[in-house]
Amino acid sequence: MNCQRADESSKNFCETEPASSSEIFRFANGDIENVLSDGTVTYYYDEIATTQTTYPDGLQVFEFPNGQEERYFVDGGCEIIFPDSTQKNIHSSGITEVIYPDGLCVTEDLDGTKRISQILKSPQKSANSVGTKG
């Protein structure tokens, strides 16, 4: 690795971490980019206190200061975990499901039909009902 992107005139600089084989770029605006030898890149956006990690397989993970976490998959799917533990999954097929902390799951199909189910602690039990469009 090398720190070729360092630019003294703009007050951006780079340091090499030999123990972890990574490079850390510090930008004048307070942002920090950490490039690991395995190709993982972590970028910290100082102004909004948000971290973006991009893995070699293309997975991108955003971590927000309020505890929200978003994962963007290479197939186009997305998973959002909100601070209250509500989870929203947007599948690459376009189907969306929201799982609430109490186990209630609302799935919306492409045609707008919503299905409601309850995720119980026992993996063998599930209550389902079909809702209407809208």
pTM: 0.78
Task: Tell me the C-alpha to C-alpha distance, in Å, between residue 11 and each of 7, 28, 32, 35, 115.
Answer: 6, 5, 13, 19, 54
The β-bridge partners of 129 are 116
Task: Tell me the C-alpha to C-alpha distance, in Å, between residue 79 and each of 31, 66, 86.
Answer: 25, 16, 11
Which percentage of the chain shows pLDDT scores above 90? Answer: 71
What's the pLDDT score for residue 2? 54
What's the pLDDT score for residue 21? 76
Per mean pLDDT, which range of 18-22, 43-47, 74-78 is the poorest?
A: 18-22
- Check whether 129 has a pLDDT greater than 60: no
20-29 pLDDT tens trace: 678 999 999 9
